[in-house]
Structure 1
Amino acid sequence: MALNFPNPSRSYDASRHCVCFWGYDNAREIAFAINDSVISSLGSETGQDESAVLAAFDRHRERILSLARNVYMGGPQNRYTIS
């Protein structure tokens, strides 16, 4: 389980109220989504609009990537939600 995050891309999904980002286990792409509420709970004021949520994600990127590593199980699953 060598999960890494070489791609800093992330996007906001307004319909699901989450930020999506991607990690890689060797050549396999693994999709992650983290709910707005989790980002807000990481300790800073988070606005409700896309730019505010993405800015909060960026401020807490290392903690969020650590959460992603903790939920990642390997195997055939390629999509995880952090809620």
Structure 2
Amino acid sequence: MTLAFPNPSRSFDETRNAVCFIGHDGMSKVRFFVEAEALARSGVALGGKGTAETAYLSAFDALRASILDVASKAYARKRGDSYTLTAADFR
């Protein structure tokens, strides 16, 4: 099977300071976290009214296609059940 992202939901995890989203490889669930720092360094504007959580979720939405691509590549390198994507993964 290959990794798929059928559910577009995402959430902000304050403890990890990251946006969490889920991928699936067949029946296996794979958790991904994108560090807030990686989103902040992306060049997407994080300003505006609202909370930091809202800003990071908006940045995630704007970058969704590239984030899913990076997540797929990380999963292809080493299959696991949880990944943390950092700014270095987006270079």
- TM-score, normalising length from structure 2? 0.82
2:91 pairs with 1:81: no
- TM-score, normalising length from structure 1? 0.89
Calculate percent identity across the aligned residue pairs. Answer: 40
Equivalent position to 2:60, from 45, 53, 57:
57
Q: Residue type of the partner of 2:54?
A: S
**Over residues 5-31 of structure 1, what are the superposed CA-to-partner deviations in whole Å (9 max), with x where a residue is unaligned?**
000010001121100000000110000
Which stretches of structure 1, 4 residues or longer, exceed 2 Å deviation after superposition?
A: none
Tell me the equivalent position of 2:28: 28
Structure 2 residues without counterparts, runs of 5 or longer? 87-91
Count of matched residue positions in the alignment of Structure 1 and Structure 2 = 81
2:84 pairs with 1:66: no
| Aligned-CA RMSD value | 1.4
- In 2, Cα distance between the equivalents of 1:26 and 1:69? 14
- In 2, Cα distance between the equivalents of 1:14 and 1:29? 21
- In 2, Cα distance between the equivalents of 1:62 and 1:40? 17
Structure 1 residues without counterparts, runs of 5 or longer? none
What's the CA shift for 1:41? Answer: 2.0
- In 2, Cα distance between the equivalents of 1:42 and 1:65? 14
**Over residues 19-49 of structure 1, what are the superposed CA-to-partner deviations in whole Å (9 max), with x where a residue is unaligned?**
0000000110000001011112222122461
SS at match of 1:60: helix
Tell me the equivalent position of 1:11: 11
